[in-house]
Amino acid sequence: MSFIILIRHGQSTWNLEKRFTGWVDVDLTEEGKLEAEKAGSLIKNRDLKIDFYYSSLQLRANKTLKIIQKILNDKKNYKKAWELNERHYGALTSLNKVEMSKKLGEDKVHEFRRSWDVKPEPLSKKSPYHPINIEIYKDIPKEVIPDTESLKDTYERVLEYFKNEIEEKLIKGNILVSAHGNSIRALCKYLFNLDNNKISKLEIPTGNPLIINLDKDLKIKSCEYLDKERAKDLLVF
């Protein structure tokens, strides 16, 4: 039996400011670092052995993973992949969620945030927040860098990477993925076979490890958040 741990990065500076972040490469807050430390301690206290580590290309996910590895005293290399990045919020990027709710209405903003296949207007390529203007994405072919994404778009790139790079590793050992709210929701949709309605309701807390135990056929046997006080409803059992 193997397991996969999914963890959304700790609180970021733009989480704190309630801004649409997407592919912008912001750092963790001090609270976010503490969340990552607690995540590492929760994993350590369970004496969980991790064989393979993955992260998105983004700083907040990388730093969360590094903090966890430090707590675990585990110096294994980890693999970074842009396919595990957060969803691209298009023209909403950098805007305040509360202010946009007042401007567009709560229902419209909720639709942008939680619907399956609705995407915001594209972000101008002239924007400093467009990925083509952010240093960490300089080696990604420009033709695959999005201007905006729906959750469906995010799901398709995350799932392709998962099936090609991660799934087979679960046969060999245990995995931890440090990523983002929407990329983890995408993985949960696949792993738990959630329909489009359920995935729109799934909330992913920051810095709380979700452990999914699998049988030899990679079917889910059980799952739980390690931090019970900050757990969210998984909508699956």
For residue 223, what pLDDT band results from cuts at 50, 70 and 90?
Answer: very high
Give the pLDDT band of residue 142 (cuts 50, 70, 90).
Answer: very high
Average pLDDT taken over every residue of the chain: 93
In a domain, 236, yes or no: no
Beta pairing, strands 220-225 & 52-56: unpaired
For 40, 51, 119, the CA distances from 65, given in Å and listed in that order, are 9, 14, 29
* 235 in any annotated domain: no
Residue-range definition of the domain harbouring residue 93 = 2-166+175-230
Decide if 155 contacts 78 (C-beta within 8 A): no
* 26, pLDDT greater than 80: yes
Question: What is residue 77's three-state secondary structure?
Answer: coil
**195 located within any domain:** yes
Active site residues: 9, 86
Asked if residue 25 belongs to a domain, the reply is yes
Taking the complete model, does pTM exceed 0.85, yes or no? yes
Q: Where are the alpha helices (DSSP H) in the chain?
A: 13-16, 30-45, 59-72, 97-104, 106-114, 151-161, 169-172, 181-191, 196-201
pLDDT surpassing 80 at residue 112: no
- In CATH, what number is assigned to the domain containing residue 83? 3.40.50.1240
Give the residue among 150, 176, 145 at the shortest CA–CA distance from 83: 145
pLDDT of residue 235: 58
Are 64 and 32 in contact by the 8 Å Cβ rule? The answer is yes
Distance from C-alpha of 189 to C-alpha of 202, rounded to nearest angstrom: 9
Contacts of 228 (CB under 8 A, 6+ apart): none
In total, how many domains does the chain have? Answer: 1
User: Worst-scoring range by mean pLDDT, 30-44, 110-124, 211-225?
Assistant: 110-124
Has residue 203 been placed in a domain? Answer: yes
The pair of three-digit structure tokens given for residue 196, joined into one six-digit string: 């489009």
DSSP H or E run through 212: strand 210-214
